[in-house]
Structure formats: C-alpha cells, structure tokens
Structure 1
Amino acid sequence: MGVTIRDVAKRAGVSIATVSRVLNQSKPVSNPLKQRIMQAVEETGYRPNAVARSMIRKKTGLIGVIVPEIANPYFSGLVEGIEAVAKERAYYTVLAISEKDDRRELELLRIFQSKQMDGILWAAARLDPACQQEIIQSNIPCVIIGQRLKNKDIPSVAIDNRRAAYETVSHLIQLGHRRIGMIHGPLWDVQSGRERLEGYHLALQTYGLSFRSDWTAEAGEFNVENGYQGMRAIWRTAEKPTALFCACDRLAVGAMTYLKQEGVSLPEEFSVAGFDDEELASLITPRLTTVRHSPYQMGYKSAQILTDRIKGKRDSRCDAITLDYQVIVRESTAILKQVLTTDL
C-alpha cells in the first residue's frame, strides 16, 4: 500500500486535518509547522492526488499559455518568463501553439476552459473578436501579452510599438535620410504589422516627408527570407531609398543580405534598423541598430498579474501595463554622406 496522508501526519506529529490545510493552502499555519509538515512529505515520499486536491481547492494549479509559434526567440523568451513565475508561485503551465490561426486560438481557449485551467496567458496574433468574447463570457482570469485591448476587463502587458517605431525612424531621419522604406509584418498582426507601420508613417508625417508605397513591403512571415524578398522588391524602384526600417531583426538581416549581394556598402551607402534586439542583431556585420525590449520581462509580468487575479487580487493599475524599451544605436545606421547634420 502506498504512503497516505495519515503517514505524513504521524511523521510530523500533527493531525490529518493540519496536513490537509498545508497541502491545500486552505487555511494559514505557522511557518515552522508548515516546514515540519513539508519535511515529512519529503521524507515519506507522499504524493497528493491531484484530482482530489483540485476538487477541494476548486483550483487545478494549471495555467494555459497560448503563443503563435515557439521557434521565434521572442516567444521562447516569453515562455521562460512565465515559467519563472509559475515555479515561484507553485503553478504548472500547459503550452499550446496557435500557428497564428484565429480559429485555432478560439479552439484552444475552449479546450483550456474545459480542462479547468485556473487562468490563461494569451500571446494573441490577431485579437479576433470571437476569442475576446469567449474570454469575457468564460470568467476565467486572462492576460493578453504583447497587444492592447479596449476592454479593460482583460488586462494586457505590452510595449508601445508605435512610439518605438516612431523613435527608430526619427533616428534615421536625424541622420539625414529622407528616402526611408519599411518591411513590416502582416497588417492583421497588431503589434508587428499595424502598430509599427503606424509609427513609421507618423515619423514621416512629423518631419514632412512623403510616404511611398513602393518603398514598403509586407512580410508574410518574420524570417530572413521574407526580409530578403522584401528588400529585393523595394530595390526594383527607379528612385531607391537610402535607409530601411524593419519590423523585426530577422527581416532586417534578410534585407542586409540582399543589399550586400547587390554591392551596397552598409552603412556608408545605406542604413538599416530593426526591432527586438535578438542575438543575431549583435552577430551580423555591421551590427544592427534596433529596439531592445525584454520578452522575458513581458512574460514574467503577465504571469504575476494573472496569478494575482487567480487569487482574487485585482489592481486597476495593472489593467494595461506598458513596459520599457530602448533604441540601441549600432553600426548599421550612419549619417548620409551627402547631407550635413546642420541641414536638420
């Protein structure tokens, strides 16, 4: 016969009810007593029945995590931050990949509800209205990662993508560039597609520069190949840009690869800036100017907010958290030779 809770109680010299209170966190006990009981659990090798515990506590101790993909370093960093909080606060995570499919996201949300997850962390790609409604009606605590919602009932953690893009393009303009292109993400992607493109437009408008659609390209995927193809399309124009802003570093690396093949000197003849400050941004030559932010911190903060809400703690200041970012200037951007800084 296996070890039972009665064996733990006998070992610790306490009642079965006291052991139950500690294991189920149903009522507070003193730290010395808690430590004694947990030591007895360790020494006896007792393993509580997870189903029984969830019925008593009305909690499963599980958090559902939905990400569009996992190969992207951004999302692997995000998951690491979530896991750190889960470990600290005695939760376990169930990871699901939506493949950027809104129907798949809706299916996953419903599966997580049926499996009685205590809460959901959703790195949404599309923010489909049907998915938002599903979350609101379910009453399961949820935090949106990387994007903003108008509905304050669902908290979110993100950076100001629009402002970060604006500052990066402004940096290029201040270096003397007047013909600036962009490779952006698909417009259904709110943060990497729409918001960063809006920041690009705003910078051009602020400095009185005209927007040219033939100097922009939409990437279907955030990878080096799409950056390469996007730059090739832009480079076909008769009047070429002198600088490029990309919605992520991998797109920028692809663009730089194409330009080098065309014999363009970087940054003497052409400047390139990216977004995310992935590891490859420091490995490519010249090193890439980019926007640094922390997916780990985004995952960590999101998990903190979610676990607080699971426990009934709600702070209105956490309804929409905006994390810091920094424009990191490296060697891929430089002053345009034919334009003096005094002209700015």
Structure 2
Amino acid sequence: MAKATPNSNAAGSGTAGAPRPATATLREVAELAGVSKATVSRFINTPEIVSPTVGERIRIAINHLGWVPHAAARALATHRTGTIGAVVPTLANEHFATAIQTLQDELEGKGYTLLLACSEYDLQREYRQVRKMLERGVDAIAVVGEAHHPELYPLLEQRGVPCVSTFTYRPQHRSVCVGVDNYRAFYNFTNYLLDLGHRRIGMIAQNADTNDRAAARRDGVRDALAECGIAMHPAHVVEGYWGVKDGRRLLRQIMAAPIKVPTAIICGNGSFAMGAMLEAMSEGYVVPRDLSLIGFDDFELMAELPVPITTVRVPSAEIGKHAAALLIAQLDGNTAVQSIECESTLMIRASCAIPAVIDSDVRESS
C-alpha cells in the first residue's frame, strides 16, 4: 500500500487532517510585480501614492497568486485593524437594519469592515459584546442610545477607542451622538393631537428600563399634556417589550379598563402602532372616528394598511451615514467632531382625526 504524502489529499478530499494549501507571500507578490515589498505595502495601505502603472503590475501579481494581506501583520504595522464594531438592540427593527446597511456601505467605501452584534436590549450582554470586539482589536465602536452598562464608556475612554451613539441626540451626551431628539418628537406630536381636540389620550409605551429613547418619548408626551393641565389615567398607560402581538394585547388592555376609553392612543414604536391598528379593526372600532392612532418609526407597512397610520419618520439611512463619518473623523484625529441632530418628520395620514366627542375639561390625575 502506498504511503500517503502531504500532496496525496487532492483538492476536494475534505479530510479533517488535510493541510491548508500553501499561500503566497508578500515577497512573492513583490518579485512577480518587479517591485519592493515596501511598494506592495504602500499600494495596499495607500494606493493613491503608487503610480497607476506600478499599481496595475501589483494588482495583476496579487490576482495571479491569490494573495490576501495578513490582517494581524497589517495591524502591527498600522496600529489599526480596519474593523469597526457596532452593537444594536435588534435587527427585527427595520430602522436599525437600514442604518446598519448604510453604515456598512459607508465604512466599506473607506476601507473598513463592520463587525456586528445584537444585544436584545440587554445591557450586560451589550457590554460583553463590546469587550469581545475590543479583544479583536476594533478601531471604533457604534452603539444605540445613551443607556448602557456603567462601565462601557469608561472602558472605551481608557482604551482610547472612539465611540458614536446613534438614534439619539443630546448635546451634553457623554459621547458623540447622531439621531433624532426623541423627547421633542413625542412632545410635538402630542401637541398635534391636542390641537385636534383630544383630551383623553393613552399610550402604549416601550419598556424604558434599558431604553433611554423610550423614556424620553414618554417624558415628551407627559410634559406636553401637563402644559395643558392634563395627565394620562394610569389605566391608559401600558408598556411592553416589542412586536405587533404586544401592540394588540396592550390595546385590548387599555380598552378593557372600566373607565372612559381614550379618544387617541400614542404608540411608542411602529410595531405597537401596527398591532394596535389591527386589534382596533378586529374589535370593531372605526379608526379614526372612534379612536385615533399615532405611531413612531414609519415602517413601510404603516403606510400600506387599510387605514394608513400617522407616524414620525426617522431618517435611519441618514443616521447610518453620519455615524460612519463621525467614526472615521475621530479615527483621523479630528478633535472638533460635533454631535449631529437629524430631523424627524410627522407623517400625517388617515389614522388621526378630530374626536367625535370633545371633552371640555379632562384633568385625570396619575
């Protein structure tokens, strides 16, 4: 029986112990292109400083040999890994998904690779994910919102790793941020409902324990009502985690309370708004004659329902684009980077109208 040799595992044999095929080296690329190793390195790191003729020879050599730069070696030389980390609560939210797609596209255009994780609104998990990313040498980090593990920002500051907080805007925030002012958005559209004549207003709110944006939205609603001497009845304020099913369940809970039902309900996110709409229709309520509904996020489906939902549009792609620019600016040493506020837009649709019965004086205390 012939003995196996290192080359006897032909391509496609798939045995676990098969050795990896030999890879080309930087020296071999340089020799084939007829240049020095330093010139190949310059072409890889800063191609614009290499002449087009030389660059084309190097490119042909790289393609012919199938050479791929070694990330660890490159990191030693440049003190950068060319990777940027991002942690989002979930990708089930189409706005987070859109922002991440845009962020990735923008970073890729600048030569960076995006490393992504989802925390599911768990601050401990988010912190562990950020630590793992730092262990892998990410050059910068993008997170969502302001509420994080108490050691997250100190860790990033200690390591000198730039950070951008997305989907939030507050000038005095600890890190650079980009997003909408959630408080102002909900304050403004609560006033829109008040101007229509609504006084009994309920809210399906997102749990705010680990979500600062949800807390800001709730504060915006309460402050706008308080300025008119109005408070939401405790039975008209319910909260959940996320999802259309939660929105349906929470609307049932509000409408089943043994008091006058609200004439309008504010939903803390798009999924709640769609769930509330479906449940209202299922229970025989005519929107907006019997009940006005207003939401947030402006998911695509919200405009396509039988009764399109009035909502606040968040410019998620713009947030992703600005986040990339802010991260790269910090990596380039720009010390004058400023937070960016993105404008939210109230999309007025058919789900809101003047209430059928206007209460002249509603002062239900909470």
Q: Which amino acid aligns with 1:185?
A: Q
Aligned-partner Cα distance in 1 for 2:59–2:329: 24
- Of 25, 36, 56, 2:77 maps to 56
Aligned-partner Cα distance in 2 for 1:32–1:332: 63
Is the CA contact 1:161–1:191 (under 8 Å) kept in the aligned structure 2?
Answer: no
Deviation at 1:262, TM superposition (A): 2.4
Cα offsets for 1:237-258 (capped at 9, x unmatched): 3111100111111101212222
Match of residue 201 from structure 1:
222
Is the CA contact 1:142–1:155 (under 8 Å) kept in the aligned structure 2?
Answer: yes
Worse overlay, 156-165 or 142-151: 142-151
Residues 36-75 of structure 1: matches in 2 within 5 Å? 37-75=58-96
Is the CA contact 2:168–2:182 (under 8 Å) kept in the aligned structure 1?
Answer: no
Is the CA contact 1:68–1:125 (under 8 Å) kept in the aligned structure 2?
Answer: no
Match of residue 197 from structure 2:
176
Q: State the TM-score, normalized to the length of structure 2.
A: 0.84
* Higher helix content, 1 or 2: 1
Match of residue 254 from structure 1:
275
Q: Which amino acid aligns with 2:302?
A: A
Residues 16-27 of structure 1: matches in 2 within 5 Å? 16-25=37-46
Instruction: Provide structure 1 residue ranges, at least 5 long, that are not aligned to the other structure.
Output: none
Instruction: Provide structure 2 residue ranges, at least 5 long, that are not aligned to the other structure.
Output: 1-21, 360-366
Aligned-partner Cα distance in 2 for 1:258–1:98: 29
Residues 1-344 of structure 1: matches in 2 within 5 Å? 2-25=23-46, 28-30=49-51, 33-34=54-55, 37-124=58-145, 126-148=147-169, 154-219=175-240, 221-235=241-255, 236-316=257-337, 318=338, 320-339=339-358
1:132–1:21 Cα change, 3 Å: same
1:137–1:264 Cα change, 3 Å: same
Aligned-partner Cα distance in 2 for 1:269–1:21: 68
State the structure with more CA Rg: 2
In angstroms, what is the RMSD of aligned CA positions? 2.4
Aligned-partner Cα distance in 1 for 2:262–2:358: 14
Is the CA contact 1:184–1:197 (under 8 Å) kept in the aligned structure 2?
Answer: yes
Aligned-partner Cα distance in 1 for 2:192–2:61: 61
1:277–1:88 Cα change, 3 Å: same
Aligned residue for 1:188, secondary structure, equals coil
Misfit runs of 4+, over 6 Å: none
Worse overlay, 194-203 or 330-339: 330-339
Aligned-partner Cα distance in 2 for 1:191–1:241: 26
Aligned residue for 2:215, secondary structure, equals helix
Worse overlay, 280-289 or 306-315: 306-315
Aligned residue for 1:257, secondary structure, equals helix
Is the CA contact 2:168–2:213 (under 8 Å) kept in the aligned structure 1?
Answer: no
1:331–1:152 Cα change, 3 Å: closer
Is the CA contact 1:214–1:234 (under 8 Å) kept in the aligned structure 2?
Answer: yes
1:140–1:27 Cα change, 3 Å: farther
Aligned residue for 1:20, secondary structure, equals helix
Q: State the TM-score, normalized to the length of structure 1.
A: 0.89
Aligned-partner Cα distance in 1 for 2:174–2:64: 45
Aligned-partner Cα distance in 2 for 1:194–1:154: 19
